Amino acid sequence: MDKAIVEVKGIGKTYDGGVEALREVSLAFPPGQLSTLLGPSGCGKTTLLKIIAGLIPHDAGEVWVKGQRVHGPGPERAFVFQDFALLPWASVLRNVAFGLELRGVPREEREELARKYIAEVGLKGFEERHPNELSGGMKQRVGLARALTVDADIILMDEPFSSVDEQTRRKFQEDLLTLLRHRQKTVIFVTHSIEEAAYLSDQIVLLTPRPGTVLRIVRPAVDRGRSADQIRRDRNYLDTVDEIWGILKQYV
């Protein structure tokens, strides 16, 4: 296995008011792979993701990204938010280009890039629309395009499909796999859906609730070269779902 691109060592986090969200969490995320943080609600998976993103301070431990210890957000990490976090007053185009706008990239250049990614996530023609004119699934595509546009190596996704209806979610998952397959992106993905984790992930990290600790790491042996429908009927895929359910059952 390659050297990890993101590593957390002994992460601990206690919120004001004494709720211990994470304890002694150490994990390594290999480059170019999709890793999932999975666990029941309250297991601190979103907290861990935001600590990796540098959005929340941690009380103990270290976060290493590309061989460097980090203490805040950085251009090599891009975040996709559960509630989309789109600027309601800005067009899709400006939203997608917003990461580059903050970096001071000239307007023409950033909008050209943004248009390219808007097309890639399947929103061509919606560039001048505003977020309130889009469905939940489309909003999240905007969020994904924004993360792709800044060309970060690491994409952090916080339950990106949880506010999206079931059919849209399936299509979106498939598109996500296609989009990521040739890009060598490292994705860290938070979800509470076992099926989603088993379908998407190279590595699944199971977390225990309160305080969050690493329970088990599962690496589904699912061949991702095949079509979505074949994966969903794959023996290994189904076994992985069963195995994870078997482990997590006791915590629900």
Residues forming the site for other proteins (CB under 8 A): 50, 53-55, 73-75, 77-79, 81-83, 85, 87-89, 98-99, 101-103, 130-132, 146, 150
Question: Do 192 and 223 form a contact (C-beta atoms < 8 A)?
Answer: no
Nearer to other proteins, 79 or 237 (CB): 79
* Least spacing, CB of residue 162 vs other proteins, in Å: 13
Nearer to other proteins, 87 or 217 (CB): 87
Q: How far is CA 236 from CA 140, 230, 241, in A?
A: 29, 11, 9
CA atoms of 106 and 95, how far apart (whole Å)? 15
Cα 191 to its chain centre, rounded Å, is: 9
**DSSP assignment, residue 133?**
G
CA atoms of 212 and 89, how far apart (whole Å)? 37
Nearer to other proteins, 52 or 200 (CB): 52
* Least spacing, CB of residue 166 vs other proteins, in Å: 23
Q: In a 3-state reduction of DSSP, which class is residue 153?
A: coil
* Least spacing, CB of residue 113 vs other proteins, in Å: 14
* Least spacing, CB of residue 241 vs other proteins, in Å: 30
Nearer to other proteins, 154 or 198 (CB): 154
Nearer to other proteins, 17 or 246 (CB): 17
Question: Do 200 and 175 form a contact (C-beta atoms < 8 A)?
Answer: no
Preceding peptide of 211 cis, ω within 30°: yes
* Least spacing, CB of residue 163 vs other proteins, in Å: 12
